[in-house]
Structure 1
Amino acid sequence: MRLTVYLAGHVHSDWRNDFRKLARSHDLPIDFVGPMENHDRSDDIGEEILGEQPNPILKDEAASQINNLRTQVLLNKADVVVALFGTSYKQWNTAMDASAAITLGKPLILIRPGELHHALKELSNKAQVVVQTPEQAIEALAYIFATE
């Protein structure tokens, strides 16, 4: 059995690569999907596909349409969603993806530091598992494959 895991969270760090390495170190049969990790391409994809837009707001709207398409398709294909919340950046996209996963009935592993407990209490309550580190999330995924 293989799982497809959607990695939701900010694109301002290398956390996804680190998470994939952790999964490989545990020899987990997981395929990872997620948002576009090239932040510039994500911002420019609307114009790349639809052509130059007349102002920055319409450029953002065009990119949003294409990115939302990607998110919806990949979230629908995912078996599990892992959403990482950090304290360094506003986490709007992470919250949106985690909420969409819940709406779609996808199991959610929420990674969040303790100091975000209050801010994320409702979302945490809907997640199947809430952890504080990526390593703990990997252990939760590894347990799915455990036989003893």
Structure 2
Amino acid sequence: MNIIIYLAGQIHDPWRESIRQKAQAMELPVSFVGPMEDHDRSDNIGEEILGKQPNPVLKDEAASAINNLRTQILLKKSDLVIAYFGESYKQWNTAVDAGEAAAQGKPLILIRPNKLHHALKELSNKAQVVVENEDQALEAVKYIFA
């Protein structure tokens, strides 16, 4: 059995690649999907598809519509969502994707440092599992196949 895992979270550092490599080393039967990881392409996809927009607000609106289309389709196709809340970046997209996963009834593993416990308490309550690091998240995934 192979499961599809949506990796929700910021796209500014290589945390997804770390999870992919660790999962491969553990020989987990999983595939990963997620948002566009090329930040410039994500920001510019609206103009890439729809053409030059008249101002930055409309540029953002066009890009977010297309990025939301991608997210909606890939979240629906996933079996599990891992949402990563790190310490370095604002986490709006992570919160939106994790909330959507919970609304869809998708199993959710939340990775967040302990210092974000209070800020994420309601979302944590919606998750099936809350951990503090990638290794713990992958051990939870590994247990699915035990």
Q: CA–CA distance in 1 between the matches of 2:21 and 2:136?
A: 14
Q: CA–CA distance in 2 between the matches of 1:132 and 1:10?
A: 16
Q: CA–CA distance in 1 between the matches of 2:46 and 2:133?
A: 34
Question: SS in structure 2 opposite 1:130?
Answer: strand
| Structure 2 gap segments, 5+ residues each | none
* Count of aligned positions: 146
1:74 aligns with 2:65: no
Q: CA–CA distance in 1 between the matches of 2:126 and 2:104?
A: 12
TM-score (norm 2): 0.99
Which residue of the partner structure matches residue 18 of structure 1? 18
* 1:85-124 equivalence runs, <5 A: 85-124=85-124
Q: CA–CA distance in 1 between the matches of 2:37 and 2:90?
A: 17
Structure 1 letter corresponding to 2:144: I
Deviation sequence 1:58-88 (CA, Å, 0-9, x none): 0000000000000000000000000000121
Runs of 4+ in 1 over 6 A off after TM superposition: none
Q: CA RMSD in A?
A: 0.4
Q: CA–CA distance in 1 between the matches of 2:15 and 2:89?
A: 13
Q: CA–CA distance in 1 between the matches of 2:90 and 2:24?
A: 29
